[in-house]
């Protein structure tokens, strides 16, 4: 079920088109990845969702109706830029910002105590924000963002400044929020996080939507009929056996085991036929399809559109 939709969103600044007829559909309870190179228009789009700026044209819908300013009370927004008051104590400003989100003082204290204990940062309460590292500040802002239990969370580079341990901590909390029914939009350059977390994505380049859909469907669409195979046996017969219908992209040997990467050249051939060709050569230890990751797809699609634009 859809919770947010954007239709034909266009935004222009002086001598610059930030967004050009961008369409987005986000399903309720899903994690949606907003991707693109620097300057592609992602932050502009996030600001439009949050009603910080308005589009020049296009329509926005939230929960079945036109998006209005009052809807933003249902949103939680974690910007990439740090927004804490440097000279203010962490606990004091966390309480202040929580009350701005509509929580009573008693409710805010209770929820903040829960999250500070969960993140093991209770000792930070009386520290000034300027005493905290970039990652520490981001952790506090994450708590403030999710504290009022918004229906829609928007994270702009949520893993910025975190070490691997804290990155995994935030990832797990994002998954927990999804499990509890929260819809989440993430803008990030971390493609491994996209694959781990996101259900669907939109890739923007040069202000335009160049790729969208579910992660699984996109990866399947860009697969290259390439397989990684490990076997033991008659390696000298391998190339002769696969000469015309397959291409050997890589071949290494380790402890009498052969590891090969093979591409099927004829789309009509099946994996069963490939396996049948290999069986006479020896014992197959493993056989896996090599499906491109989102990082490879990201680079491929962005470079393709850049080349098309440069040739116009």
CATH assignment at residue 238? 3.30.70.260
Does residue 305 form part of some domain?
A: no
Phi, psi of 61 (to 5 degrees): -130, 140
pTM as predicted? 0.87
pLDDT(6) > 70: yes
- pLDDT-derived band at 172, boundaries 50, 70, 90: very high
Please indicate, yes or no, whether residues 107 and 30 belong to a single structural domain of this protein. Answer: yes
Please indicate, yes or no, whether residues 15 and 151 belong to a single structural domain of this protein. Answer: yes
- What is the pLDDT at residue 242? 66
Domain end call among 192, 220, 248:
220
- pLDDT-derived band at 80, boundaries 50, 70, 90: confident
Helix (H, G, I), strand (E, B) or coil at 262: strand
Please indicate, yes or no, whether residues 203 and 279 belong to a single structural domain of this protein. Answer: no
Does residue 46 form part of some domain?
A: yes
Please indicate, yes or no, whether residues 188 and 176 belong to a single structural domain of this protein. Answer: yes
Does residue 312 form part of some domain?
A: no
Helix (H, G, I), strand (E, B) or coil at 39: coil
Does residue 210 form part of some domain?
A: yes
Q: What is the mean pLDDT of residues 5-20?
A: 93
Domain end call among 205, 220, 235:
220
Please indicate, yes or no, whether residues 96 and 149 belong to a single structural domain of this protein. Answer: yes
Please indicate, yes or no, whether residues 126 and 23 belong to a single structural domain of this protein. Answer: yes
Does residue 307 form part of some domain?
A: no
Please indicate, yes or no, whether residues 163 and 258 belong to a single structural domain of this protein. Answer: no
The secondary structure of residue 127, as a DSSP letter, is S
Does residue 309 form part of some domain?
A: no
pLDDT(243) > 70: no
Please indicate, yes or no, whether residues 8 and 140 belong to a single structural domain of this protein. Answer: yes
- pLDDT-derived band at 203, boundaries 50, 70, 90: very high
Does residue 310 form part of some domain?
A: no
Least Cα distance to 147 among 97, 86, 106 occurs for: 97
Please indicate, yes or no, whether residues 146 and 216 belong to a single structural domain of this protein. Answer: yes
Please indicate, yes or no, whether residues 38 and 101 belong to a single structural domain of this protein. Answer: yes
Tell me if 63 sits within 8 A of 150, measured CB to CB: no
Please indicate, yes or no, whether residues 156 and 52 belong to a single structural domain of this protein. Answer: yes
pLDDT(82) > 80: no
Of all residues in the chain, what percent carry a pLDDT higher than 70? Answer: 95
Q: How far is CA 56 from the centre of its chain?
A: 27
Tally of domains in the chain = 2
The secondary structure of residue 136, as a DSSP letter, is H
Please indicate, yes or no, whether residues 158 and 274 belong to a single structural domain of this protein. Answer: no
Does residue 216 form part of some domain?
A: yes
Which CATH number characterizes residue 103's domain? 3.40.50.300
Q: What range defines the domain where residue 168 resides?
A: 2-220
- What is the pLDDT at residue 235? 63
Domain end call among 220, 236, 268:
220
- What is the pLDDT at residue 142? 94
pLDDT(240) > 70: no
Alpha helical stretches, state H, 242-293: 271-278
Helix (H, G, I), strand (E, B) or coil at 199: coil
DSSP letters spanning 48-92: HHTTSS--SEEEEEETTEE--GGGGGGEEEE-SS----TTSBHHH
């Amino acid at each position: 079920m859809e919770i947010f939709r954007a239709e034909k969103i266009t935004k222009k600044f002086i001598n610059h088109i930030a967004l050009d007829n961008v369409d987005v559909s986000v399903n309720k309870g899903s994690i949606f990845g907003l991707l693109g190179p620097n300057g592609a228009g992602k932050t502009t789009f996030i600001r439009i969702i949050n009603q910080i700026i308005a589009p020049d044209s296009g329509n926005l819908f939230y929960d079945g109706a036109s998006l209005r300013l009052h809807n933003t009370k249902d949103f939680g927004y974690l910007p990439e830029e740090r927004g804490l008051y440097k000279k203010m104590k962490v606990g004091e400003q966390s309480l202040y910002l929580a009350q701005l989100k509509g929580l009573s003082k008693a409710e805010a204290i209770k929820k903040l105590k829960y999250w500070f204990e969960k993140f093991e940062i209770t000792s930070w309460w009386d520290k000034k924000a300027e005493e905290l590292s970039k990652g520490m500040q981001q952790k506090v802002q994450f708590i403030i963002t999710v504290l009022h239990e918004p229906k829609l969370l928007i994270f702009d580079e949520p893993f910025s400044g975190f070490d691997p341990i804290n990155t995994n901590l935030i990832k797990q909390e994002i998954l927990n929020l999804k499990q509890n029914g929260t819809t989440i939009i993430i803008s990030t350059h971390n493609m491994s996080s996209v694959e781990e977390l996101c259900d669907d994505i939109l890739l923007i380049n040069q202000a335009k939507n160049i790729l969208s859909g579910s992660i699984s469907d996109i990866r399947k669409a860009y697969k290259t009929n390439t397989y990684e195979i490990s076997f033991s046996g008659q390696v000298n017969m391998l190339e002769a056996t696969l000469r015309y219908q397959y291409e050997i992209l890589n071949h290494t040997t380790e402890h009498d085991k052969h590891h090969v990467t093979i591409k099927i050249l004829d789309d009509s051939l099946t994996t069963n036929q490939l396996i049948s060709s290999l069986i006479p050569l020896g014992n197959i230890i493993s056989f896996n399809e090599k499906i491109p990751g989102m990082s490879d797809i990201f680079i491929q699609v962005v470079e393709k559109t850049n080349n098309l634009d440069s040739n116009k």
